[in-house]
Amino acid sequence: MPTMDYQGSSLPFASIGRSILSIRRDQVHTVHAGRHHDPAALDLDLEALQKRVADLFLDLSSSDDDLLSLAWVRKLLDGFLVCQEEFRGILFGCSQGRRVNLSRPPLDRLLSDYFDRAVKALDVCNAVRDGIDQLRRWRRHLEIALAALSGGGRTLGEGQLRRARKALTELAILMIDEKEAGGGSVLTLRNRSFGRAGKEPPHHRRAGSGGAAVSSSGHHRSLSWSVSRSWSAARQLQAIGNNLTPPRGNEVTATNGLAVPVFTMSSVLFFVMWALVAAIPCQDRGLQTHFWVPRNFSWAASITSLHDRIFEESKRKERKSSCGMLKEIHHMEKCIRHLTELLDPVDFPWTEGKETELRQGVEELAEVCNTMKDGLEQLERQVREVFLRTVRSRTEGLDCLSKSHHPE
């Protein structure tokens, strides 16, 4: 019996709830309330945020081979959450201390633009959550292959090898389909996949193991997405990045400097969402967006270089055909290709050398599988956390805005 791990997709929601709830507003209050009567304290906070963002992106851009790995994406999200928390503290401090009137133009407009972007980011979070679900479903195929090929230390029968190959080929087809879905027209693909499964007579299907996979990959094609079919990640990213311009000098002065963190957070938010869409399969991906940060921001160089590197990478041939640039997906693809070739039924039975090669392939597969298992769960939890905290900080922000509108 293979181990039945159908709980893979369930998350300890409880932990999210707790961590969110434990960040009580009053903690923020005690830190910041009162401090912003003092202009110097506000400046210090603004500087601290700039430094935090700069450190985050410097760290993220420091290693080359880590780019867009699960660990990298998680680091990005963690960093984002921290920055968002600091930003939230600054706003709250301002509204409590009445040092800066949040509802005075142009700050009110800047803030409400930022919160609009945040709402749009929520949809990206949901789409990415779907994408993670998708990856998790894909991982099941890897698990089948792994279970078939591990065989408890005993010699593998041809059936097991074919079983593994079938699972991998099906997965490869699912991934190609996803790519077509992600890159091309959304509607055509979904409709196509509807009618496809299992209409032809069954004995035609199993002419070769490849043939079987082609037809039965339809059995594994999920049609469920939480976003509507017309939703497009590319368009959403454009909407988030729309009018994202650095503040002008007079805006900075008119807002007591607050225009700077608002712009900073808007840029970080955009980049985080853009990177998520780059990494994770989701509907109608597209990375072609305008993104520019003036050099005088301490984080400009690193964030721009990351953006450029990812964008360049996305244009490379092998990545172009991929449904997501997550490093583990790439790894998975390589692994599948390698094993599928190895498992070509023409070569049965095998030579000694091939067995060794297969063993290595299986080890590699196991590694990808394991990384994905823990990594995806943690990533989903984080994406959820980003969603929840974004909602919360927006609600609070809008509260602050409306309270400053109606001083009691």
Partner 1 sequence: MERSQTVTQKFSSFSSSSSSTSGRDDKPREIDRSRSLGPVKLEKSYGKKERDTETVTIEEDEEEGQEEEEVEVVVVVNKEEEASSAPEEPPEASFGSISEEVDGFLSFLLSIDDGRDQWPEPPAMPEPTIKKFLDFVEEELVKYESGKDGAPPPANDELVLFDAIDRVAKLTSALSIFSSDTKYNKAMTRASSILRYAMCFLEDEFHSLLEDSKPKKDTGTARPKTKRRPSIGHLHDAIDRCVPPPSEPDLAEFPSTYTPEIIERLSGIAGAVVSAGYATECCQVFTISRRNAFDVALSNLGYEKLGVDDVQKMPWDSLETKIATWNKVFRQTVEVAFPREHDLCEAVFAGHSAIAYSIFHNFARGVTVLLLGFAEAVATTKRSAEKLFKVLDMYETLRDMVPRIDALLRTTESEPDDSSAAHDLTTEVALVRSRLGEAVVAIFCDLETSIKTDMGKNAVPGGAVHPLTRYVMNYLKYACEYKNTMEQVFRDHKNSENPSSQVEDAAKGGSDDNHNPFAIQLMEAMELLHTNLESKSKLYRDPALCSIFLMNNGRYVMQKIKGATEIHQLLGDTWSRKRSSDLRQYHKNYQRETWSKVLACFKDDGLQARGHVAKPVLKERLKSFNSMFEEIHKAQSSWVVSDEQLQSELRVSVSAVIVPAYRSFLGRFSQYLDPGKKSGKYIKFGPEELENYIDELFSGNPSSMVSRKRT
Touching partner 1, residues 236-255 (CB under 8 A) = 236, 239
Of 13-32, which residues contact partner 1 (CB under 8 A)? 13-14, 16-17, 20, 24-26
Sign of the Cα torsion 344, 345, 346, 352 reads: positive
Per CB under 8 A, 280 contacts partner 1:
no
Residue among 34, 24, 52, 23 at smallest CA distance from 94: 34
Collect all residues with Cβ–Cβ distance below 8 Å to 346 and sequence separation of at least 6: none
- Give least dist CB 173 to partner 1, A: 14
Of 52-91, which residues contact partner 1 (CB under 8 A)? none
Q: Which DSSP symbol is given to 183? A: H
From residue 148, give the alpha-carbon distance in Å to each of 1, 78, 143, 251. 11, 37, 8, 63
Collect all residues with Cβ–Cβ distance below 8 Å to 139 and sequence separation of at least 6: 8, 369, 372, 373, 376
Q: Which of 114, 231, 263, 297 binds partner 1 (CB under 8 A)?
A: 231
Q: Which of 119, 318, 321, 356 binds partner 1 (CB under 8 A)?
A: 119
Separation between Cα atoms, residue 23 and residue 92, nearest integer Å = 14
Per CB under 8 A, 163 contacts partner 1:
yes
Cα 86 to chain centroid, rounded? 22
Q: Which of 61, 96, 215, 393 binds partner 1 (CB under 8 A)?
A: 215
Q: Which of 65, 154, 353, 363 binds partner 1 (CB under 8 A)?
A: 154
Per CB under 8 A, 7 contacts partner 1:
yes
Of 377-406, which residues contact partner 1 (CB under 8 A)? 388, 391, 394-395, 398-399, 406
Which of 36-44, 75-83, 212-220, 319-327 is the region at the interface with partner 1 (rule: CB under 8 A)? 212-220
Collect all residues with Cβ–Cβ distance below 8 Å to 381 and sequence separation of at least 6: 11, 12, 15, 16
Q: Which of 58, 71, 81, 205 binds partner 1 (CB under 8 A)?
A: 205
Please identify, using beta-carbon distances, which residue of 44 and 398 lies nearer to partner 1. 398
Per CB under 8 A, 126 contacts partner 1:
yes
Please identify, using beta-carbon distances, which residue of 99 and 117 lies nearer to partner 1. 117
Separation between Cα atoms, residue 405 and residue 104, nearest integer Å = 9
Which of 80-88, 135-143, 266-274, 364-372 is the region at the interface with partner 1 (rule: CB under 8 A)? 135-143
Q: Which of 45, 143, 178, 328 binds partner 1 (CB under 8 A)?
A: 143
Per CB under 8 A, 222 contacts partner 1:
yes
Structural element, H or E, at residue 58: helix 39-62
Of 303-332, which residues contact partner 1 (CB under 8 A)? none
**Strand, helix or coil at 249?**
helix
Separation between Cα atoms, residue 246 and residue 110, nearest integer Å = 11
